[in-house]
């Protein structure tokens, strides 16, 4: 099991992006609105050969867990969501009208919130409405996130019949004391029962979500959770670092901060996760994913073709993404757009028959080059600067001369044993894979500016 000293942790466990996008959403601007997005979609319609992904955000939950950093709407009355779902279908109409014939989807994902907050009948109706507007490509990935506390066999049967082939079960932690501290009452029996029902119904790929760094967690409690999930043998596990960001998510202040693991203890939890899962035969993928050796994520990682988007790590490369629903982020035409986060603002825009864009960002050439470098480091642990540079007509090692110098300076990431530079290739070491956000941040043009702007991101460990 990898161990590091406290001084190294103190130097490198600093706030930094998770790089689901580059530039991050911190750079998005309200100057980029519906008109700009419309132009992007109309242009995208002229490129039907490019693969398309569709994300659907279903934000409703019956209650908010205190650890959660997702965009959610809390209501115990499912009928409140009817108005929302009607707007999602109306937004799909708007998107389809601009995309013309480019409506074949290779990746389709429902996230939240809690998609299974809605009844099976409602989910069937929503899916049928969306597939009347978008076509699923042969072999398309249809994925959904579910909460075992509210998901029934009826939900699973409906999803299987609709063709969903990837399902992710939110677990977080199975220890009862940890669950109490994060406001999530989910018994081990509930989780195991739903998992076995999912297997019985033949879903091709099952993922479990866990979190390390939660209040009350220690190596012993986490080891018990890991043993239980390893015994289930899911195809994949996503084990996320707890993002404690109370300045962004004030409800996190309900937790007792003094019960959060310190830097050394949290790294020990991460090391325990990596050692336990790899000893059990899982392959560590990217920053926080693990998969069985036969999984296509592992194949892509070995081939250096793994990719990352707002839906997580994926084998789908060079896809553009359109998002439906409040807070959804689209990635199309070298630009990002984000929908209104306030429910009322989202409704108002849709009722005006206007794309519900709150803000966005158009990448310039420098952004595009750095985005590829950061994505390759985050996904495949290596970026060939000259190879990437040739795609954009620049000399990569010259373009990133200052970044290479930073890596090589005394006490830099090479000295720290986190990165290697071989010719024009920058790669992470075994240790660097655990600090991959730090390695990627060297190539982030906005990092230094952010360091003086106060807290924006969770810590990298």
Per-residue pLDDT of the chain (461 residues; tens, 9 = 90+): 677 778 787 788 777 888 989 999 999 999 999 999 999 999 999 998 889 999 999 999 988 888 888 889 999 888 889 999 999 999 999 999 999 999 999 999 999 999 999 999 999 999 999 999 999 999 999 999 999 999 999 999 999 999 999 999 999 999 999 999 999 999 999 999 999 999 999 999 999 999 999 999 999 999 999 999 999 999 999 999 998 888 788 888 888 888 999 989 999 999 999 999 999 999 999 999 999 999 999 999 999 999 988 888 999 888 999 999 999 999 999 999 999 999 999 999 999 999 999 999 999 999 999 999 999 999 999 999 999 999 999 999 999 999 999 999 998 999 999 999 999 999 999 999 999 999 999 999 997 666 545 556 767 77
- Residue 7 lies in domain: 1-20+364-461
In a domain, 214, yes or no: yes
Number of other residues whose CB lies within 10 A of the CB of residue 111? 23
Q: Same domain, yes or no, for 127 and 162?
A: yes
Q: Residue 346's Cα: distance from chain center in Å? A: 22
CA 438 to chain centre: 18
For the beta carbon of residue 122, count every other beta carbon within 10 angstroms.
17
Is residue 329 domain-resident? Answer: no
| Same-domain pairing of 185 and 249 | yes
Q: For residue 351, is it within any domain?
A: no
Question: Are 31 and 156 found together in one domain?
Answer: yes
CA distance 405 to 399: 12
Q: Give me the number of domains the chain comprises.
A: 2
List all residues 6 or more positions away from 165 whose beta carbon is below 8 Å from its beta carbon: 141, 142, 143, 203, 204, 205
Name the token pair of 386: 């000259």
Distance (Å, whole) CA 66 – CA 329: 24
> Do both 304 and 407 map to the same domain?
no
Residue 304's contacts (CB-CB under 8 Å, 6 or more residues apart) are 380, 382
Check if the beta carbon of residue 34 is closer than 8 Å to that of residue 90.
no
Do the bridges between strand 166-172 and strand 135-146 make them parallel or antiparallel, or are there none, so unpaired? parallel
Last residue of a domain, one of 323, 347, 377: 323
Q: Are residues 152 and 288 in the same domain?
A: yes
One domain, residues 9 and 33: no
Check whether residue 16 and residue 51 sit in a common domain. Answer: no
Asked if residue 393 is part of any domain, the answer here is yes
Do 4 and 28 fall into the same domain? Answer: no
Based on the fold, state whether residues 59 and 3 are members of the same structural domain.
Answer: no
Boundary (domain end) residue, out of 323, 346, 380 = 323
Is residue 334 in a domain? no
Considering the domain architecture, whether residues 256 and 118 belong to the same structural domain is answered as yes
The CA-atom distances, in angstroms, between 141 and each of 32, 75, 109, 344 are 30, 30, 8, 32
Bridge partners of 61, per DSSP, are: 74
335 lies in some domain: no
CATH of the domain at 33: 3.80.30.20
Same domain, 134 and 100: yes
Q: What is the pLDDT of residues 30-79, one digit of tens each?
A: 999 999 999 999 999 999 888 999 999 999 998 888 888 888 999 988 88
Size of the chain in residues: 461
Q: Is residue 349 part of a domain?
A: no
The domain boundary residue, chosen from 323, 356, 373: 323
**Nearest to 11, CA basis, from 323, 420, 410, 425:** 410
Question: Could you tell me if 55 and 178 lie in one domain?
Answer: yes
Q: Are 395 and 453 in contact (CB under 8 A)?
A: no
Identify whether the C-beta of residue 439 lies closer than 8 Å to the C-beta of residue 418: yes
H or E segment to which residue 58 belongs = strand 52-58
What CATH number did the domain enclosing 443 receive? 1.10.10.920
Domain assignment of residue 288, yes or no: yes
């Amino acid at each position: 099991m990898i161990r590091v000293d406290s001084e190294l942790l103190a130097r490198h466990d600093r706030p930094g992006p998770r790089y689901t996008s580059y530039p991050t959403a911190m750079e998005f601007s309200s100057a980029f609105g519906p008109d700009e997005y419309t132009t992007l979609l109309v242009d995208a319609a002229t490129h039907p050969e490019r693969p398309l992904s569709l994300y659907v955000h279903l934000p409703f939950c019956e209650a908010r867990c205190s650890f959660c950093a997702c965009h959610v709407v809390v209501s115990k009355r499912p009928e409140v969501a009817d108005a929302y779902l009607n707007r999602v279908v109306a937004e799909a109409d708007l998107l389809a009208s601009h995309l013309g014939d480019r409506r074949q989807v290779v990746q389709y994902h429902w996230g939240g919130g809690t998609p299974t907050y809605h009844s099976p009948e409602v989910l069937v109706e929503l899916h049928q409405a969306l597939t009347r507007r978008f076509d699923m490509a042969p072999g398309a990935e249809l994925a959904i996130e579910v909460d075992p506390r509210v998901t029934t066999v009826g939900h699973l049967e409906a999803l299987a019949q609709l063709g969903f082939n990837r399902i992710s079960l939110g677990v977080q932690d199975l220890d009862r004391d940890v669950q109490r501290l994060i406001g999530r009452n989910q018994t081990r029996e509930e989780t195991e029962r739903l998992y076995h029902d999912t297997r019985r119904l033949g879903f091709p790929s099952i993922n479990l979500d866990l979190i390390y760094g939660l209040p009350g967690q220690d190596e012993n409690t986490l080891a018990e959770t890991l043993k239980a999930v390893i015994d289930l043998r899911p195809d994949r596990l996503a084990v996320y670092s707890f993002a404690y960001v109370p300045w962004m998510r004030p409800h996190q202040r309900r937790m007792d901060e003094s019960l959060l693991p310190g830097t050394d203890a949290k790294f020990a939890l991460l090391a325990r996760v990596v050692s336990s899962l790899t000893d059990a035969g899982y392959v560590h993928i990217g920053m926080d994913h693990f998969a069985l050796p036969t999984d296509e994520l592992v194949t892509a990682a070995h081939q250096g073709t793994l990719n990352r988007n707002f839906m997580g790590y994926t084998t789908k490369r060079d896809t553009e993404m359109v998002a439906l629903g409040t807070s959804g982020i689209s990635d199309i035409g070298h630009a990002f757009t984000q929908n209104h986060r306030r429910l009322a603002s989202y409704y108002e825009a849709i009722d005006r028959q206007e794309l519900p864009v709150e803000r966005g960002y158009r990448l310039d050439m420098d952004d595009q080059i750095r985005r590829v470098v950061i994505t390759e480091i985050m996904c495949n642990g290596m970026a060939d600067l000259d190879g990437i540079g040739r795609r954009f007509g620049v000399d990569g090692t010259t373009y990133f001369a200052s970044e290479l110098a930073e890596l090589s300076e005394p006490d830099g990431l090479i000295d720290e044993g986190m990165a290697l530079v071989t010719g024009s290739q920058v790669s992470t070491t075994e240790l660097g894979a655990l600090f991959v956000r730090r390695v990627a941040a060297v190539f982030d043009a906005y990092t230094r500016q952010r360091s003086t702007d106060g807290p924006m991101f969770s810590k990298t460990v």
